[in-house]
């Protein structure tokens, strides 16, 4: 039996029962305890991650790769290689936007870019201060990957705004992208 109820103003939830192997349940219990969350919260996170990330990444042809491997690969990238990587990621972000939201605009692009960064196992914080949006991204992959991310932001947002509305502070392992937006 499935039971539906309103949890917040935005999301209706349903209760459902699953039968899972004991070893899976034991791992869920352990992980939930280690992260100080309920089993329900952990299972919701796992399923949300699958629906919002893994399913899309699999369809986009993404594969997992260790950070150390990316650091090594990044050591010999030149401008042409960076541009080709950025073009591939931009195409994937557009695909994510269309598959997830049925459209490609500034808002869906931002959500898809955030999703891509999360799937890349990097951290991103989005701060809003009036008309300025700041994106702080920490990736710990080295300066070349900071330059890749900087070019990615420039390319993605170039469709929606002028270059002079985007500013960057780039370091060895992070970037801060500041965008002047009317509203988002």
Give the model confidence (pLDDT) of 38-73 as tens digits: 999 889 888 877 777 676 666 666 667 788 888 888
User: Is 156 in contact with 93 (CB distance < 8 Å)?
Assistant: yes
- The encoded tokens of residue 48 equal 């949300």
Q: Are residues 55 and 80 in the same domain?
A: no
Residue 6's DSSP bridge partners are 12
CA–CA dist 43, 23 (Å, integer): 15
- The count of structural domains within the chain is 2
The pLDDT value given to residue 25: 92
CA–CA dist 155, 114 (Å, integer): 15
Q: Is 34 helix (H, G, I), strand (E, B) or coil?
A: helix
Spacing of C-alpha 175 from chain mean position: 15
Q: What is the DSSP letter of 134?
A: E
CA–CA dist 118, 24 (Å, integer): 25
Q: Are residues 116 and 83 in the same domain?
A: yes
Phi/psi at 15 (nearest 5 deg)?
-95, 140
The boundaries of the domain holding residue 129 are: 67-180
Q: Are residues 104 and 150 in the same domain?
A: yes
The pLDDT value given to residue 124: 87
Q: Are residues 91 and 33 in the same domain?
A: no
Q: Are residues 115 and 142 in the same domain?
A: yes
CA–CA dist 118, 123 (Å, integer): 6
Question: Which residues in the chain land under pLDDT 70?
Answer: 1-9, 53, 55-63, 182-184
CA–CA dist 128, 40 (Å, integer): 31
Q: How many residues does the chain have?
A: 184
Domain boundary among 32, 59, 86: 59
Q: Are residues 47 and 133 in the same domain?
A: no
Q: Are residues 51 and 72 in the same domain?
A: no
The pLDDT value given to residue 59: 63
- The encoded tokens of residue 10 equal 């935005």
The pLDDT value given to residue 15: 86
The pLDDT value given to residue 116: 81
The pLDDT value given to residue 117: 84
Percent helix, strand and coil across the chain, each to the nearest 5: 55, 20, 30
The pLDDT value given to residue 172: 92
CA–CA dist 127, 149 (Å, integer): 18
């Amino acid at each position: 039996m499935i039971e539906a109820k309103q949890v917040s103003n935005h999301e209706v939830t349903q209760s459902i029962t699953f039968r899972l192997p004991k070893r899976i349940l034991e791992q869920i219990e352990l992980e939930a305890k280690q992260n100080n969350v309920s089993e329900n919260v952990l299972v919701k996170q796992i399923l949300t991650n699958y629906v919002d990330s893994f399913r899309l990444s699999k369809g986009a042809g993404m594969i997992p790769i260790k950070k150390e491997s990316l650091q090594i690969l990044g050591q010999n990238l030149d401008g042409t290689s960076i541009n080709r990587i950025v073009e591939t990621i931009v195409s994937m972000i557009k695909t994510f936007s269309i598959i997830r939201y049925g459209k490609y605009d500034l808002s869906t692009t931002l959500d898809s870019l955030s999703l891509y960064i999360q799937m890349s196992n990097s951290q991103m914080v989005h701060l809003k201060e009036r008309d300025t949006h700041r994106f702080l991204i920490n990736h710990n992959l080295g300066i070349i990957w900071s330059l890749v991310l900087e070019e990615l932001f420039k390319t993605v947002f170039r469709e929606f705004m002028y270059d002079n509305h985007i500013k960057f502070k780039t370091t060895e392992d992070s970037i801060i992208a500041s965008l002047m937006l009317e509203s988002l």
